[in-house]
Amino acid sequence: MNRKKAFVSLTSDFGAQSQGVGLMEGVILSIYPHAHVIHLTHELPPFNLIAAARTLEQVSFLPVGAHVCICDPGVWYDRNSLILETYRGDWLLGPDNGSLIPAARTLGGIVKATTIENTAYIRTPVSHIFQGRDIYAPVAAHLSNGVSFDEFGSSLDVNNLVRSVYDEAVVIDNLVYATVIQISRFGSVHLNIKYELWKELELDNKNMIQITRSHTESLCLPIGRTFSDVPEGYPLILKDDYGRIEMAINMGSFAETFNVKI
């Protein structure tokens, strides 16, 4: 039995007070009592696929395992339920709505993808609005218990999956084109710039960086290592805790000050 794959994480927009959280864990443990279940968060902003994708990226800090992410606006519209196998060895489970793709990139990329169709491994009848309990939780448990990836459904061409809810930053003519992917509760603005690109551009060796928004508004930000590198109330740009770059204000809200929204 592959104990390395006995780790299951759950991420959703259900809310921490929802009984659905406990029900999913209960379904997993009823199928595979040896599973180690961690609740990454159940406080995703409702229906926010960008927040779901950004949060799921953090499973790269967790042990290799089966990672379920449920943020599914509309529920049960015409889309597949997926399992993605990644090069690190993890499985990502969720709707085919683009929210799994950033995490898959962080975990080395997608080895293969399959639909979830085999009723032998799901709870039936399947609820039209609670697939976390009836599809994703049991499938995560069966994967952890050693059921082969190929037993769950039909193979999918990775190129036919729904496009990622956000792409990676790109460099064109020495300019970095980036997108806001998260605003923290402190008002820090997180970008889709990974550490690797930051290092490649040797930005740690610079003191300032110019940020331009909508081709009209420009702002020069000092590059720091921590918030206190600038006086209280001043902005800066720095590496965040999760592999990407953020813009922040020491003891203040960058998003509120500069009217940044997703």
Q: How far apart are CA 158 and CA 128, in angstroms?
A: 26
Q: 211 and 153, same structural domain?
A: no
* pLDDT in the model for residue 5: 54
Q: 148 and 175, same structural domain?
A: no
* pLDDT in the model for residue 2: 46
Amino acid at 119: T
> Which of 160, 188, 212 represents a domain boundary (last residue)?
160
Which among 152, 77, 147 is positioned nearest to 117, based on CA atoms? 152
Q: 9 and 139, same structural domain?
A: yes
Q: 199 and 123, same structural domain?
A: no
Q: How far apart are CA 193 and CA 207, in angstroms?
A: 18
- Residue 123 neighbours by CB under 8 Å, 6+ apart: 27, 133, 134, 135, 138
Question: Does residue 165 form part of some domain?
Answer: no
Tokens 């085919």 correspond to what residue?
96
Question: Does residue 71 form part of some domain?
Answer: yes
Q: How far is CA 141 from CA 4, 26, 58, 154, 216, in A?
A: 13, 10, 21, 19, 51
Q: 134 and 12, same structural domain?
A: yes
> Which of 124, 140, 160 represents a domain boundary (last residue)?
160
Range(s) of the domain holding residue 14? 3-160
> Which of 160, 184, 202 represents a domain boundary (last residue)?
160
Here the tokens at position 28 are: 């997993």
Q: Please report, for the domain that includes residue 45, its CATH number.
A: 3.40.50.10790
Q: Please report, for the domain that includes residue 184, its CATH number.
A: 2.40.30.90
Bond preceding residue 138 cis, omega within 30 of 0: no
Question: Does residue 143 form part of some domain?
Answer: yes
Q: What is the pTM of this model?
A: 0.92
Q: 201 and 151, same structural domain?
A: no
* pLDDT in the model for residue 1: 41
- Residue 243 neighbours by CB under 8 Å, 6+ apart: 57, 60, 106, 194, 195
Q: 153 and 193, same structural domain?
A: no
Tally the domains of the chain. 2
* pLDDT in the model for residue 50: 97
pLDDT by residue, tens only, the chain of 262 residues: 444 458 999 999 999 999 999 999 999 999 999 999 999 999 999 999 999 999 999 999 999 999 999 998 877 567 899 999 999 999 999 999 999 999 999 999 999 999 999 999 999 999 888 999 999 999 999 999 999 999 999 999 999 999 999 999 999 998 999 999 999 999 999 999 999 999 998 887 778 999 998 777 899 999 999 999 999 999 999 999 999 999 999 999 999 999 999 8
Which among 236, 173, 172 is positioned nearest to 206, based on CA atoms? 236
Q: What is the DSSP string of 60-98?
A: GGSPSSEEEEE--TTSSSS--EEEEEETTS-EEEEESSS
Q: 114 and 178, same structural domain?
A: no
